[in-house]
Amino acid sequence: MVSTTHFLVLGAILFTIGTVGVIIRRNVIIMFMCVELMLNAVNLTFLAFARHFNQIDAQIFVFFVMTVAAAEAAVGLALIVQLARRTNSVDIDQADTMKW
Amino acid sequence: MDINYTALLPEIILSVAGIVLMLLIPFVPKESQPKLGYVGLVGILLAFCALVLQWEGERGLAFFDMVFQDNFANFSKLLFLLSVGAITATSMHYLEQDRLLKAEYFCLLLFSTVGMCLMAASADLIMTFLGIEILSISTYVLAGYRSSEMKSTESALKYFILGAFSTAFLLYGVAFVYGATGTTKYLQISRAISDMDSYPVFLLLGVGFMIVGFGFKAAFVPFHVWTPDVYEGAPIPITAHLAVASKAAAVVAFLRILFQVVPDLSLQWQQLLWISAVLTMLIGNIAALTQSNIKRMLAYSSIAHAGYLLVGLTANSTMGAQGVLFYLMAYAFMNLGAFTVVQLVARRGEANVEIKDYAGLGFKYPLLSLALSVFIVSLAGIPLTAGFTGKLFLFSAAIQQGMYWLVVIAVVASAIGIYYYIRVLVFMYMREPEGEIESVGIPGVARIVILIMVLGTLYLGILPGSVLKMASEAVNF
């Protein structure tokens, strides 16, 4: 039997990997994927709690999160394409025209 | 539980106006696209009428208990509509001047307003999340609207990555709060918390994560690093939108959560906010001292102002909340006014936004400079202006709670702030211009906006009574 705690721990691990990834990686696409990983960790946490409470509310929340993530991906990828067109790379360090 | 669409009438009108505008875009020739802003203005005006109609209407929950229908929501919506109306009006000239002939701009502005209204009225964490995302996704696009400029793309990209990152934190917090209480509805969460004898780790972690998420959106230190870059690179009207309306929405939603969802945890969150308030005021004001670009200076100044708002939140009293709402209104008038002038002085491609470009402006354009002086003086917090009365209410709320140190630091920070605000005035009135001052065209709409903002700034400074009364009714949860 897989308990709620297992799911929560997995969620926490995924969330941490995502957070660290956003901070240390310089490739915008990978940073974006790490954000998506964080959102999925959140979804997993929600589902674990929903199963624990035997409720449906949180499952609906997960649908909203997925929909919003899709909308965000559309905007985010468009911005990344724009960066790539301009600098021929997807390295976030290319975007450094403004400093302090 | 029922639908009760009237509670959401302003939001519905704004959404419909946005969709109608989108449908009109293909039928309008390229050159007159910026004129479509008038359609947006009509939508905002209609939403405003709907808001006035329900001002005295029924109170309570609506839309399947997802939104509150109360004075707090109404006050916030009034603030958002005012701010977005001013931004839409001044954007038309900006889009024409910078040859950004695409009217989707106004749709996105309208949709972002819908998001803000939902955030302010939300009675459920799902709705709060949706409101934040409707606002954020629209503003990511708007920040990158000058797509031919690297700066603008960079600004949008940074805003996007950090915005999405902070949303993930917020959501993780929501998940934990749900795990601790078994519900996402504001009132049920607060009831569940007040029934607890001891607070589970989940709950504290969840609230902590949510504070981080809101801290990002409202640019509280240490979550402010994105602000200067995003504000500098975004188109000027959008910078105003981010600095005023978007920040106000985050603060308002945060305030409702602190006061209506987790009031029982106030001992814990007050300490966090105290630290953040001190850092935000000091870092915002000190970093602004060395800025040469006026947009970037106003960005740091907006961080500092978020710090003053935090003082009101930290006070955790009705008076503090009332001060926050009043200050948001005052801040909207003075900051929108300042950004409008900055936008008029700027040339195509956003040239002329350095503070030295303002040298000698006071003699060539006395009225425009006078207006900017009023806004700057108010931002600095000199008496008889909105900025001063606003700060007075915030700081006296903190004193009433015995937070003397916080107020001492706040006063010192505002004193530091006066220096960089006055520097703009010195340049305008006491320096010789380096070359010929370029002529500034001031369209009629912008004149009206500036006039309203000047009157608002002075009115709130001299006769704060009526707005203060509105704010005090609004925080009566």
Is A26 in CB contact (< 8 Å) with chain B?
A: no
Is A83 in CB contact (< 8 Å) with chain B?
A: yes
CA–CA dist B116, B76 (Å, integer): 9
Structure-token pair, residue B250: 């985050």
Mean pLDDT of chain A: 91
Instruction: Read off the pLDDT band of A97 (50, 70, 90).
Output: confident
CA–CA dist B125, B185 (Å, integer): 6
Lowest mean pLDDT among A34-38, B10-14, B62-66, B410-414: B62-66
Place of tokens 């007040």: B194
Q: What is the pLDDT of residues A50-89, one digit of tens each?
A: 999 999 888 999 999 999 999 999 999 999 999 999 888 8
CA–CA dist B245, B323 (Å, integer): 17
So where are chain A's domains?
A: 4-94
Is A45 in CB contact (< 8 Å) with chain B?
A: yes
Long-range CB contacts for residues B342-345, cutoff 8 Å, separation at least 24: B342/B236, B342/B294, B342/B295, B342/B298, B343/B90, B343/B93, B343/B94, B343/B236, B343/B237, B343/B240, B344/B93, B344/B368, B344/B440, B344/B441, B344/B442, B344/B446, B345/B440
Structure-token pair, residue B145: 């609207």
Give yes or no for residue B399 having a pLDDT over 80. yes
Answer with the residue of higher pLDDT: A98 or B191: B191
Percent of chain B with pLDDT over 70: 100
Q: What is the mean pLDDT of residues B165-189?
A: 95
Percent of chain A with pLDDT over 90: 72
Q: What is the pLDDT of residues B80-121, one digit of tens each?
A: 999 999 999 999 999 998 888 899 999 999 999 999 999 999
Which of B157, B165, B229 has the CB atom closest to A28's CB atom?
B157
Closest CA to B382 of B461, B452, B307: B461
Interface test with B, best of A82, A88, A90, A94 (most B CBs within 10 A): A82
- B45: burial class by Cβ within 10 Å (0-12, 13-18, 19+)? middle
Q: What is the mean pLDDT of residues B149-157?
A: 91
Beta bridge partners of B314: none
Closest CA to A49 of B200, B196, B205, B174: B174
Look up the CATH number of domain A4-94: 1.10.287.3510
ipTM for this model? 0.96
Interface test with B, best of A63, A98, A99, A100 (most B CBs within 10 A): A98
CA–CA dist B309, B397 (Å, integer): 11
Mean pLDDT of chain B: 93
Give yes or no for residue A100 having a pLDDT over 50. no
Answer with the residue of higher pLDDT: B199 or B348: B199
DSSP E strands, B35-150: 60-62, 67-69
Q: What is the pLDDT of residues B431-472, one digit of tens each?
A: 888 777 777 778 889 999 999 999 999 999 999 999 999 999
Q: What is the pLDDT of residue B363?
A: 87
Give yes or no for residue A99 having a pLDDT over 70. no
Q: Which residue of chain A is at minimal alpha-carbon distance from B138?
A: A75
Answer with the residue of higher pLDDT: A13 or B4: A13
Which of A28, A39, A97 has the CB atom closest to B171's CB atom?
A39
Q: What is the pLDDT of residue A95?
A: 75
